[in-house]
Structure 1
Amino acid sequence: MTQVTKLAGHRFAQADYSIGRYAATVPSETSLEEVTHPEFFANHLSVFRPGMAIDVLSDDYKLDCTLRVLAITKTSATVRVIRFFDEATAPHVTSTDVSPPEVSFGGPHHKWRFLHGGNVIQTGFDTKEAAEKAAEKYIELMKGE
């Protein structure tokens, strides 16, 4: 019979409590090399603990990664990349057909409006053309165009 070493109870705990997860929003065009530099998080070292995770997301959503803090000094932190989203190798979602919006006059309070899927999305347009233009932008946003 094979002898199995079991994990001691004190080494199994709720991860958010023991490890800690933080989120960092960084400016657009920030690179992975910048966020992994030992001095990048120098202003936040007081909350760092070895083993904690940091989810990093840039304002333009191009940088999306998770870092693990390995070591902390008084002026720097050593981190390791445990997840990195790469647009070039990521599977691409194919565009789908989206049902068309419905533009209608909603009365003196709503004025011209557009609906999608039976839900009122936006109201208060003075002209039908303005409501149609807003509806087109809404559908483009849904399709990711």
Structure 2
Amino acid sequence: MRLNRGYAALTIALLAIELAIALFLNDPIVRPYVGDALAVVLVYAGIRAVTRLPVVPAALIAFAVAVAIEFSQYFRLLKAIGLDQNRFARMILGSGFDPKDFIAYASGAVAVLLIERYRRASRADAGIRTVSPSSESSSTI
């Protein structure tokens, strides 16, 4: 396993943005919806940083992780395991189920797919050889 430095840097940057949103914003749009969409992009970038998964499977896994976390909120998993008062756990896993969050997660996954498609087209237009997932190394984003 090789670390993809570009995706790793993106993961760290998105994590910092997500933490800033969670700690300093309490608005009706950015924190609940933009933050949720960015969370999918964060998980996607993390997956791509440490695996050679192609774009679509990595995006689907990132979306599935977000959906699983949302359902954990529905079933009050944090309360069941005694972490409902833990601020860090609530910040990472959320604290309240909202079916509208699924739209935000889907938006994040679609954004990933569109951005990656644009990147691939731009690279092809520039004559840059695109790398197949099996031979991808530590290239940058």
Q: Answer whether TM exceeds 0.5 for this pair.
A: no
Bigger relative contact order, structure 1 or 2, given CA contacts below 8 A and separation 6+?
A: 2
> Which structure carries more helix by proportion?
2
| TM-score, structure 2 normalization | 0.25
> Which structure carries more strand by proportion?
1
